[in-house]
Amino acid sequence: MTNSTTHWTTLYKNINIATMTEASNSYGIINQGALAIATGKIAWLGKESDLPYFDENTVEVIDGNNQWLTPGLIDCHTHIIYGGNRANEFELRLQGASYEEIANNGGGIVSTVNATRQASENELFNSALKRLTAMQQQGLTTVEIKSGYGLDLNTEIKMLKVATKLSEKLAITVKRTFLGAHALPIEFKNNANGYIDLVVNEMLPQICAQKLADSVDVFCEGIGFNLAQTERVFKAAKRHNLPIKVHAEQLSDLGASELAAQYQALSSEHLEFLSEKGIKAMAQADMTAVLLPGAFYFLRETKLPPIEQLRKNNVAMAIASDANPGSSPIHSIQLMLNMACTLFRLTPIEALAGITCNAAKALGIDNHTGMLKVGFDADLALWDISQPAELCYQFGVNPLTTLIKQGKSIL
């Protein structure tokens, strides 16, 4: 990156900046700051009083009115492409049925699979577009979206194509995760190993050939897949050079995080039942713990993820919405900030790091986004707040005033 100001296109002045460059240790605050953009990247940032000379005739100068600038937000774990909804199961759970009972009786993920198989690509696109538009309006510039409601080759491909189209329609980066091993489809009842054969021998190769996935995920759980099956998917992901993520230790401790660490996974996600051994293994492998307070809340879980031990072991913590029809029909990253603090007792700094720098780490894109640094993507959110903690503290009034994706103002 050149020091020259001649390529600057836009300059934000009179702003307070939370750079989020120090992980969970501080906001990295620059008061009375300025930030310049050139070719979609951050070209300069610092104190306004330290601004170098630039040509006011060629640079658009924007007065930030003393508002706060943060990295554009990142929701690193969602399942927003699906048919139908599961409001009926919400009612059943309120009458006493558990999430696992509903799944074991043919409801749960499998009921969404039926609706998703029946929906056309267009229908899936339109319903997901509504969700993603609402999510973007809360400050998202990057989102991860998982497949996993198809569980057959064509529907998994249909979902991943919709994910690709969403990023073309909205100015938002979409990271696509292949979650073929999400649940056992009816046609493979009592034959989970046979289904894993299909996932690793047919689905993954075809999806890779069409370049439709950026990573691979598995739901390792009693109602999902066991460790041996999970490992087969990890091995296949390695063969295809795709990064690994895992739904782990959500309802029980199967040791999926330790297994994922052996495969240098990017992240392990949910983690309410994560053991000390799992934490050590994650720390060793520099994995990110993705915490999902929306699912914890919506399933009325009582066991908290081991936040204090994750902290002690310096495991980076990301926060995500897990937006999905069954365990977290919640499409608000701002609400996740609040819940990360109130339910999981994260500090507001940790919560904001969880949806910026640490979320980028969970997606393997922390070398160019999630922080405000020279050379990084100019993915920025401008907030009408008086201090960063306000983002976590109140909920329901949207303080976002401007959203910038790769240097372009989109909201």
Query: What φ, ψ does residue 179 adopt, rounded to 5°?
Result: -115, 55
Residues 286-305 contacting ligand NIG, CB under 6 A:
295
Q: Which range, of 66-74, 258-266, 319-327, 358-366, touches Fe ion by CB under 5 A?
A: 319-327
Residue 109 binds: one of ligand NIG, Fe ion, none (C-beta under 5 to 8 A by kind): ligand NIG
Q: What one-letter code names the amino acid at 100?
A: E
Residue 327 binds: one of Fe ion, ligand NIG, none (C-beta under 5 to 8 A by kind): ligand NIG
In the complex, residue closest to Fe ion by CB = 322
Residue 18's DSSP bridge partners are 29
**16 and 353 Cβ atoms separated by less than 8 Å:** no
**307 and 296 Cβ atoms separated by less than 8 Å:** no
Separation between Cα atoms, residue 150 and residue 156, nearest integer Å: 5
**68 and 30 Cβ atoms separated by less than 8 Å:** no
- Of 28 and 224, nearer to Fe ion (C-beta) is 224
Q: Is 322 in the site for Fe ion (CB under 5 A)?
A: yes
Residues 104-133 contacting ligand NIG, CB under 6 A:
108-109, 112
Residue 20 Cβ, how far from ligand NIG at the closest point, in Å?
Answer: 25
Q: CA end-to-end span of the chain, whole Å?
A: 27
Give the residue among 41, 44, 34, 38 at the shortest CA–CA distance from 59: 38
Residue 80 Cβ, how far from Fe ion at the closest point, in Å?
Answer: 11
Residue 278 binds: one of ligand NIG, Fe ion, none (C-beta under 5 to 8 A by kind): none
Q: Is 301 in the site for Fe ion (CB under 5 A)?
A: no
Residue 349 Cβ, how far from ligand NIG at the closest point, in Å?
Answer: 26
Residue 176's DSSP bridge partners are 145
Burial class (CB in 10 A: 0-12, 13-18, 19+), 48: middle
Residue 250 binds: one of Fe ion, ligand NIG, none (C-beta under 5 to 8 A by kind): ligand NIG
**26 and 353 Cβ atoms separated by less than 8 Å:** no
Q: What one-letter code names the amino acid at 202?
A: E
Separation between Cα atoms, residue 374 and residue 120, nearest integer Å: 43
**333 and 343 Cβ atoms separated by less than 8 Å:** no
Residue 139 binds: one of ligand NIG, Fe ion, none (C-beta under 5 to 8 A by kind): none
Q: Which range, of 176-184, 226-234, 305-313, 317-325, touches Fe ion by CB under 5 A?
A: 317-325
Binding mask 195-224 for ligand NIG (x = CB under 6 A): ------------------------x-----
Residue 157 Cβ, how far from Fe ion at the closest point, in Å?
Answer: 20
Residue 56 Cβ, how far from Fe ion at the closest point, in Å?
Answer: 49
Residues 313-342 contacting ligand NIG, CB under 6 A:
322, 324-327
Residues 63-92 contacting ligand NIG, CB under 6 A:
79
- Of 5 and 111, nearer to ligand NIG (C-beta) is 111
Binding ligand NIG by CB under 6 A: which of 41, 232, 245, 247?
A: 247
Separation between Cα atoms, residue 318 and residue 322, nearest integer Å: 12
Q: What angle do CA 170, 174, 180 make, to 5 degrees?
A: 130
- Of 41 and 79, nearer to Fe ion (C-beta) is 79
Burial class (CB in 10 A: 0-12, 13-18, 19+), 240: middle
Residues that bind ligand NIG (CB under 6 A): 79, 108-109, 112, 219, 247, 250, 295, 322, 324-327
Residues that bind Fe ion (CB under 5 A): 322
